[in-house]
Structure 1
Amino acid sequence: MLLLQDPLPNVEKQVQALTNYLWSRHLPVEPEELQQRAAELEKKLLEKTASALTEKRLRGAVLSTLRKTTYHWQELSYDKGLSLVYMAARMDGGFAAVFRAFHEIKARIPKFQPQTLMDFGSGTGSVIWAAHSTWGQSLREYMCVDSSAAMLDLAEKLLKGGLESGEPYVPGVFFRQFLPVSPKVQFDVVVSAFSLSELPSKAHRSEVVQTLWRKTNRFLVLVENGTKAGHRLLMDARDLVLKGKEKCPLDPRPGFVFAPCPHELPCPQLTASKPLACSFAQAYHPIPFSWNKNPKEEKFSMVILARGSPEKAQRWPRITQPVLKRPRHVHCHLCCPDGQVQHAVITANKHGRDLYRCARVSSWGDLLPVVTPTQLAPSSTPDSPES
């Protein structure tokens, strides 16, 4: 309806272009890294050239090479038109990823009924809809923060069915352009979905993560693209919260990882010889535009941090890849409570019929109810995952 009111030229191509751009986007290069690259280039150039270059020519050659080889990060400025394109491109996939993260909390703590929620980088409001779908009338206040006034206007319109005025479908939603830094007011759930990657530097991201954690009463939910860059960014945020010491904390309760990691140890995916992104997939039905009718799958990374004692957490291994079902055995790739990854081949004969049946009906992203990794000793099944 909103796209019909404000028709955009070649909207399908714009949607595809923005989708591809956001997925392939890298984090901005930090000044320290840029200086290191410049020093290495300068050394290589001096070694290659037989005659000594003048300082001016050397500097020019280094700058020219850096311009060609360095990723040029640019901040996206969402005006009315680009906000509509973003809605068409990302609102449904964003909803699917955040809803999956909320489901993790809902499924494991069904009695948890949050009353307040803050969404940093709220965009078109997909977090509002996902939270309302998960907890319904329990939520009485939503604080949506986004630097783009056009995005906030669009989100408010969507809540009112595409109209300028009228009663919003979800009550209690408030909009503002700046993140409130005071820790005096906390929210039961604080969310940042696909927003940390839009910040211009690691220092800025760290500052925002610390502010979001100070404003968290129960759960901090962080979601990014399921890429290496998105996963690494979330692990940096995770470590910052777990290791951070605030000068004057008003809430002294420690933090622990609620999901997906079953531990607070270094991520084994990042420390592997070939680092991989820890990501998950959520199937969904997209907004039925003419070019967008088939079911899709959102690949995303997430981390949910909670206040309280880690002893209360459910420390079962997490399935980190699609489950491979074979005759009389199942292949599961697991992130275990001891901080290690394990490829378990589960059979009824070796591991018991209950665990075998459970593994067979489990999916990528599920927890496997095994207390210790020793229960998953390698099976004698000779088949490989490719068999």
Structure 2
Amino acid sequence: MEIPQGLRRAIENQIRDIEHVRMKDDAQAISSRYRTQSGKGKRLLTKETEAAAYAAARMPATFGAVSDALKYSLPYLENCPQTLLDAGAGTGTAAWAADAELKLKKIICLEREDAMIKIGKNMMKCSSELLCNAEWIKNDLTVDEIPEQADLVIASYVLNEMTSEERMETVKKLWDAAKMMFLIIEPGTPVGFSNLAEIRQVMLKWGAHIAAPCPHESDCPKEKNDWCGFACRVSRSRLHRQLKGGEVPYEDEKFIYMAFTREKCHSAEARVLRHPQIHKGYVGLEICTKDGIKNIKFSKKDGERYKKARKVKAGDEI
């Protein structure tokens, strides 16, 4: 996936005057904090240089994950969302992704860190008219009330930073703010999956419906020590490779997501859980269906279905 040129330019303009050595150190420090301190309710980023480093290091992959989650989820809505609430917006990545996928009329970004708000606003100045006019509100999701409702509410890579109690209280507030859809994107890890599975159970009790990725609203068929996730491949700029200490021209971002809706909606008949297992003469797929998890095979005799099965990836509808 190529991130939009407008976003790439916005990132480059934001970090133009920051020494690369300092930015690399900040990016590595932030990455370490997110790995070791998420889920404890701590503030993980407060300085402007850190916010800029975060934008350069994390926005491309996060944009890819949110974009994929939107592409998987939005087709199941009968009506197109016109307003967006980006909750825990950071530097506004989810807003950029939604602006690229939808014809929105209004965007509201909620963020508690002044440094993130400043960087996010600056980056949107040279973007679309809608992003330029996005409303930024200083808001701590764990403490403050949600000031407005929106058709689409996105919580991207933010709930995992909270304690369990804070997470569920925040989910309730964000669900109350969602008129049509509440989309959650989390890191593709066993912990992230466990947190989202807990949210899934509670949301269904509150009367929510699942648009994606689950093709059903029954108990998750995954065994206790197993989990499923998805991935998107995002191209890297030279600067991005330097910050991440990588040589390859792309980054694979592992993520999980779930889209909840107010109204009962159509969902996939089955969704691929793992990348295809390609063997001599056939392809094996693990899929989640309305009747549980199944393992299916397509041989060359299946023609187009066999060819299609070779090319699917985890998360695709089948």
Asked if these proteins are the same fold (TM beyond 0.5), I'd say yes
Whether the aligned pair in 2 keeps the contact of 1:280 and 1:365 (CA below 8 Å) is yes
Partner of 1:10: 22
Change (3 A) 1:152 1:168: farther
Q: What is residue 214 of structure 1 aligned with on the other side?
A: 176
Structure 1 residues 364-383: aligned runs within 5 Å: 364-368=314-318
Contact 1:226 1:277 in 2 (8 A): no
Decide which structure has the larger Cα Rg and report it.
1
- The equivalent residue for 1:125 is 92
SS of the counterpart of 1:170? helix
Aligned residues: 298
Indicate the residue corresponding to 1:172 in structure 2: 133
- Give how far 1:8 is off: 6.1
Distance of 1:314 and 1:234 partners within structure 2: 19
Residue 345 of structure 1 corresponds to 297
In the alignment, what sits opposite 2:120? 155
Deviation at 1:114, TM superposition (A): 1.8
- TM normalised by structure 2 equals 0.85
Alpha-carbon shift at residue 19 of structure 1 (Å): 2.8
Match of 1:146 among 86, 98, 111: 111
Change (3 A) 1:229 1:182: closer
Within the candidate set 252, 260, 264, 1:305 is matched to 260
Shift of 1:154: 0.4
| Separation in structure 2 between the aligned mates of residue 224 and residue 296 of structure 1, nearest angstrom | 17
Q: Secondary structure at the match of 1:291?
A: helix
Structure-1 residue corresponding to 2:4: none
Per the alignment, do residues 139 and 216 of structure 1 end up closer, same or farther by CA in structure 2, a change over 3 Å counting? same
1:81 has 2:49 as partner:
yes
Tell me the residue number matched to 2:167: 205
Give the deviation of 1:188 after TM superposition.
1.1
Q: How many Å apart are 1:348 and its aligned residue?
A: 5.1
Q: Which residue of 2 aligns with 1:188?
A: 151
Q: 1:263 aligns with which of 210, 216, 233?
A: 216
How far apart in 2 are the matches of 1:276 and 1:26?
21
> Which of 221, 227, 230 pairs up with 2:189?
227
> Structure with the greater relative contact order (CA < 8 A, sep ≥ 6): 1 or 2?
2
How far does the alpha carbon of each residue in 1:89-128 deviate from its partner, in whole angstroms, 9 at most, with x for none?
211111010010111134555x743210001110011111
| Uncovered stretches (5+) of structure 1, i.e. residues with no partner | 29-72, 245-253, 369-387
Q: Does structure 1 conserve the Cα–Cα contact (< 8 Å) formed by 2:212 and 2:268?
A: no
Structure 1, 260-269 or 223-232: larger mean CA deviation: 260-269
Cα 1:208/1:81, change in 2 over 3 Å: same
Which amino acid counterpart does residue 242 of structure 2 have in structure 1?
A: W
Higher strand proportion, which one? 2
Unmatched runs of 5 consecutive residues or more in structure 2: 1-12
1:31-69 Cα shifts (integer Å, max 9, x gaps): xxxxxxxxxxxxxxxxxxxxxxxxxxxxxxxxxxxxxxx
Q: What is the CA-CA distance between 1:16 and the residue it aligns to?
A: 3.2
Cα deviation per residue 1:252-284 (whole Å; 9 max; x = unaligned)? xx4211111111222223x34xx1332101011
Q: Does 1:318 align with 2:266?
A: no
Per the alignment, in what secondary structure is the counterpart of residue 236 of structure 1? Answer: helix
Aligned-residue Cα RMSD (Å) equals: 2.5
Change (3 A) 1:25 1:278: farther
User: For residues 129-152 of structure 1, what are the alpha-carbon distances to aligned partners after superposition, in whole Å with 9 as ceiling and x for unaligned?
Assistant: 1011111xx211111001101101
TM-score, normalisation: structure 1:
0.70
Kept after mapping to 1: 8 A contact 2:185/2:256? yes
Deviation at 1:182, TM superposition (A): 5.9
Question: Quick check: 1:317–1:335 contact (8 Å CA) kept in 2?
Answer: yes
Aligned-residue sequence identity (percent) comes to 24
